Amino acid sequence: MKVKLITLLVWLFYLNAGAQESKKDYSEAFKIIEVWLDAQKDYEKLPGISAAIVKDQEIIWSGAFGKANIEADVPTEISTICSICSISKLFTATAIMKLYDEGKLRLDDKVNDLLPWYNLDQKYPDSGPITVRTLLTHSSGLPREANFPYWTGPDFPFPTQEEIKKELGEQETLYPASTYFQYSNLGLTLLGEIVEQISGISYTAYIEENILKPLRLNDTRTQLPESLYGSKLAIGYSSLNREGQRKKVKLFQANGITPAAGFSSNVLDLGKFAAWQFRVMDSTVTEILKPSTLKYMQQVHWTDPDWKTTWGLGFAVSKGSDGTTWVSHGGSCPGYRSGIQLNPKSKMAYTVMINANGTNPHKYAREMHEILKKVKDTSNKNEGDESSKKDLTEYTGYFSNQPWGSESYISTWEGKLVILNLPSQAPSKSMVFFKHVKGDSFQKIRDDEEPGEMMVFERDSSGNITKYSQHGNYSTKIKNQ
């Protein structure tokens, strides 16, 4: 009887925890994210940015800002396609691990046993073997690139598969295998060749039949769709120059480097790719990969001697600020930046695409996550708190901070007001909360929950909010939300 009672209590605990999680309302957090991304797009002079947030099997938010094609005034949409560059490696790693699941290769198989034409010079006679595992973890000691200047503009001369093979014998290892982390597009390119060698079909055909079609990733391709360039496929732009301009970058195709850098997709498809991973890891049924295999891929398989770089089988693996494991990958190709980050424990994922170089998509993913973490369970709301019952929407909008700062945005947040200064590299840390006191007066809530300084709004003769004061100084309203 005692055992049954304990079991019932445990069941009720988890049921209650699930019920509480379902009560979280992210709508105000999404508004802050939208305001922030839109502002950063302008202040960082990004042509366009799109993003999506995944909770388990659902894309709970997505947004797009700016232009996919500045010259033709084509807006960025959530369906806009970009190069995802090195995120391509996750699809290559998935293909390799599917062959592993099927018993067609082993992680410790030597590359020169799988590819008869492999002839890259091993500079270190005492080196351990270069294996499938060392290629997946970027610890093979191979050089970063094939022997061609394909990252050099304006033409970006990516080699064909045959050109890579022909030139391979002219290259040599940088380090002994299993010694250092050295990110290698050449290594992942060779894994793509292994997929072809073992499957007996082209790399593209294998990816399409075994990954893209089963997951219905209809806007993910192993190349950039040139017929859609400038419309559904965003035009890529350069980093900022000294004049604060971004130049149009010539369209490229990765050709023989496709397994490492050739794919295109959009944030919605990458969201589906993330949802598949959460689904598989929570299952006992094989869906492309065995659950145990995907979990194995997302464990740390390589730690660099400096303890700063940790890598799984295809994935970057790291510990977040909350102590949980994050798996991720970024992409940087001519004219495009992209990123995908997943938290297997919380089943939250973030995808970001930018059609320009010189910016980091991961910072947007991290900050979106940190903003959502601030959302409290609505079951903890104090029903007796009068401030939570007041309509605060008339106070919201954009206010000028010139000349000392650019602007601030005031929004509602769980019965309070929140001020976000724009632009912001870390909006989750710069959000300041104010509780309604009386009339048009609000008081700051310090990090230690103690009351702080006052913020008082003023109105015009028509009763509209026109400015607010802090410390006796004013910020003027410049537009509504």
Per-residue pLDDT of 57-108, as tens digits, reads 999 999 999 999 999 999 999 999 999 999 999 999 999 999 999 999 999 9
pLDDT of residue 5: 41
Token pair 């498809």: residue: 269
Report whether pLDDT(297) > 90: yes
pLDDT of residue 39: 98
pLDDT of residue 479: 80
DSSP state of 420: E
Handedness of CA 281, 283, 286, 288 (dihedral sign): negative
Which pLDDT band holds residue 113 (cuts at 50, 70, 90)?
very high
d(CA 287, CA 296): 15
75's enclosing H/E stretch is: strand 74-75
- Helix ranges (H only) for 44-184 are 88-101, 111-114, 132-136, 161-168
Are the beta carbons of 442 and 435 closer than 8 angstroms? yes
- The SS3 of residue 455 is strand
DSSP state of 467: E
pLDDT tens profile 309-336: 999 999 999 998 889 999 999 999 999 9
pLDDT tens profile 137-153: 999 999 999 999 999 99
Phi, then psi, of 193 in degrees rounded to 5: -65, -35
61's enclosing H/E stretch is: strand 58-69
Tell me the pTM. 0.92
Q: What contacts 306, CB < 8 A, 6 or more positions away?
A: none
384-479, CATH topology level: Lipocalin (2.40.128)
pLDDT average, residue stretch 350-356: 98
Query: Which of 228, 223, 221, 212 is CA-nearest to residue 272?
Result: 212
Token pair 């790291």: residue: 318
pLDDT of residue 3: 39
d(CA 469, CA 265): 47
Which pLDDT band holds residue 11 (cuts at 50, 70, 90)?
very low
Which pLDDT band holds residue 10 (cuts at 50, 70, 90)?
very low
Which pLDDT band holds residue 378 (cuts at 50, 70, 90)?
low
pLDDT of residue 22: 52
Phi, then psi, of 331 in degrees rounded to 5: -140, 135
- The SS3 of residue 145 is coil
Residue extents of the structural domains in the chain: 2-27, 44-373, 384-479
pLDDT average, residue stretch 156-182: 98
241's enclosing H/E stretch is: none
CATH architecture of residue range(s) 44-373:
3-Layer(aba) Sandwich (3.40)
CA distances from 87 to 67, 237, 351, 353, 420 (A): 22, 19, 11, 11, 32
Burial class of 388 by CB neighbour count within 10 A (0 to 12, 13 to 18, 19+): middle
d(CA 340, CA 87): 8
pLDDT average, residue stretch 19-46: 89
d(CA 166, CA 185): 17
Report whether pLDDT(379) > 60: no
* 13 vs 251 pLDDT, higher one: 251
pLDDT tens profile 358-367: 999 999 999 9
pLDDT tens profile 400-412: 999 999 999 999 9
